[in-house]
Amino acid sequence: MRTRNRLIDVDGVVNFRDLGGLRFAGGSTTAFGKIFRSGSLDRATDLGIATLVDELRVKTVVDLRTPTEIAWNSDSYRLMHDPRVRYAQVSILPDHVLNSEIFPVGQPIAIGEVYFRHVVNAPKEIAQAVALVVAPQNAPIVLHCAAGRDRTGMVVALLLDAIGVLREDVIADYAATNASADKITESLRLNPIYAADRPVSEHEPLGADPRSVIAFLDQVEARFGDSRQCLQWCGVPVQDIDRLNTLLSGGTISE
């Protein structure tokens, strides 16, 4: 896996990285500058917004958080209202889950099982997210949730695995969140909507245990055969999966 330029400093944002530089089985790598993943963009500063829009040329933001999370932070989320960027909200979790079901702390296998359950419970939302990613006019695009670990992590892992990125690199991309663990934990601790849900400061930094994404993808294989078939079960057309492959291979997606 090429790590150069994957981790990007965006002022006011945690856990931001490029999905470029990941290896396919044939030896080629995913293209840089097409799809980014991140924690929340709510606190992006003027400098951070300039990095996103002027330097990275981001055209679309897909917010995977719930309506309650978004409403709580909408006043500070200036990028949501920026006319240069298309903003789309696709909630992978129902609102009530936010406060009643936490990704289990210190239980990596259980976290992977939660990922799988959420994918199975939100097939339309998964298909909607993929459609946004592969729409020709939307790239470069950012996928984000609150921390950039769980909802973003499971969607990105599913997409990368479905187009044939080496499993080793899919896992490594998930674990790359560990580089931002301290900053993620602090950002969640300072946000009342998450601090009320679980006292973040009482736990270790919010890292990403590779066993979680391994358990998730193992369950996908056991139920559907592979990630590509899982996406098709979610309602993602085969041509959208092929478009995703083209996008991350550096090709041009036709209308």
Q: Cβ of 150: how many Cβ atoms within 10 Å?
A: 23
Half-sphere exposure in the Cβ direction for 1 (13 Å, CA): 20
Q: Look at residues 120, 105, 93 and name the one whose alpha carbon lies nearest to residue 219.
A: 120
Q: Looking at the domain that runs over 17-248, which CATH code has it been given?
A: 3.90.190.10
Instruction: Show pLDDT as tens, one digit a residue, over the chain (255 residues).
Output: 555 579 999 999 999 999 999 999 888 999 999 999 999 999 899 999 999 999 999 999 999 999 888 887 777 788 888 999 999 999 998 876 655 456 767 788 999 999 999 999 999 999 999 999 999 999 999 999 989 999 999 999 999 999 999 999 999 999 999 888 788 777 777 666 665 555 544 555 677 999 999 999 999 999 999 999 999 999 999 999 999 999 999 876 666
What is the spatial distance between Cα 160 and Cα 166, in angstroms, rounded to a whole number? 8
Nearest in space to 40 (alpha carbons), one of 157, 213, 194: 194
- Name 69's bridge partners: none
Gap between the Cα atoms of 77 and 73, Å rounded: 6
Question: Inter-axis angle of helices 151-162 and 108-121, to 10 degrees?
Answer: 80
Return the domain boundaries, the chain. Answer: 17-248
Q: State whether residue 109 is helix, strand or coil.
A: helix
Neighbours of 57 (CB within 10 A): 11
